[in-house]
Amino acid sequence: MIGVGIGVDIGGSQIKLAAVDRKGQVYYRESISTLARGSNPEGIIATIVTSTQRFLSNLPASLSVDGFGFCVPCYAQGEDWVLGNVTNLPLLEGYPIRPALAEAFGSQISCTYDTNAAGLAEFSWGSGMGFDRVLFMGIGTGISASFFIQSAGMVSFTFNTIGDTGHIIVDPDSNVECLCGGHGCLEAVAAAPAIRRHAMEAANNGGSAYLRSIIERNGDISARDVSEAARSGDQAAIAILKQTGRYLGIALTSYLHIFLPNLIVLGGGVSQAGDLLLDPVKHTVETMASPWFMKQLSGIVPSRFGQDAGAMGCACMVYYPEVINKSSLHQ
């Protein structure tokens, strides 16, 4: 039998699951787009439980389960994992999720913030493997970061995270209100909804017939559509990704000066734009950062595991819980 950890990445619209051994080999994975079902907290938790049980029933007979790891797109506080600052699953605000999960899957369970899990996968098995100090940034519907040090594990000091890093100010003159209620936040100007907003503006003001054709065909436009348009040479799409990369680079320059990473790893759906996004990020950091800090940085690279990183990191917690728990100053 091959022992595997079961990773469960709980998102606002889908659950991603993976069966992974202690070396990072994925033996089975699924993505289930049913989490939106449920009009109350108990219904949502029941969906998580039944989806995970269904996943277990589909595992090859050669696999045995060593434990479970869960991640959520918000803070999980206290022994019962009371969820806080839940923006994409608001019904779970203030709800303790551990009791129901422990009843279904036993005591060998753990939980963390989704960006912590994705960063752990990259630090332990992926692009950050072998580096001493690794900063992971996830760029999708929201933006957040996690930070790992070989001698100390995951650094955390605010609800088991390094803080709400997507809300560092990168555009103080912005009139766009962030979901947090602030203005000028990185997330408000560089996450997937911001890319969509800029694309809609370009399409509607005559700046891009290409983007306009996507909207007419699909009824909407996504960050992925913008990336594909940029690869096809659409200048408006290229400009949108360049500006997005600049905002990300401004934030990462500050994080470089604060955390002194040896490597920065970019993950999440938006990062899949590749060099069209990565090049302006690198250029901005190289232009703005202190030369001394730049000498400590080996590079800015894409995630190895892409959209699987969260679920893989959850499974990683089964085998290396000390990396998550070693260095924590909880507040």
Write down the pLDDT at residue 111: 95
The average pLDDT across 84-111 equals 91
pLDDT at 331 over 60: no
- Please state which of the four CATH numbers 3.30.450.20, 3.40.1390.20, 3.30.420.40, 3.40.50.1360 is assigned to the domain occupying 128-303: 3.30.420.40
| 2-120 shares its CATH topology with 128-303 | yes
Q: Is the pLDDT of residue 14 over 90?
A: no
- Please name the residue ranges forming H helices in the chain: 41-57, 98-105, 114-124, 186-190, 192-204, 209-218, 223-231, 235-259, 275-288, 291-296, 309-319, 321-325
Beta bridge partners of 185: 169
Predicted local confidence at residue 326, as pLDDT: 58
Reported as a single tens digit per residue, the pLDDT across 174-214 is 999 998 889 999 999 999 999 999 999 999 898 888 899 99
Q: What is the pLDDT of residues 268-313, one digit of tens each?
A: 989 888 999 999 999 999 999 999 999 999 999 999 999 999 999 9
CATH architecture, domain defined by 2-120 = 2-Layer Sandwich (3.30)
Cα 183 from Cα 15, distance rounded (Å): 31
State pLDDT tens for residues 213-250: 999 999 999 999 999 999 999 999 999 999 999 999 99
Q: Which residues of 296-313 are buried (b: 16+ CB within 10 A; e: fewer)?
A: ebeebbbbbbebbbbbbb
Query: Could you read off the pLDDT of 38-84 as tens digits, one per residue?
Result: 678 998 999 999 999 999 999 999 999 999 999 999 889 899 999 99
Domain definitions of the chain by residue range = 2-120, 128-303
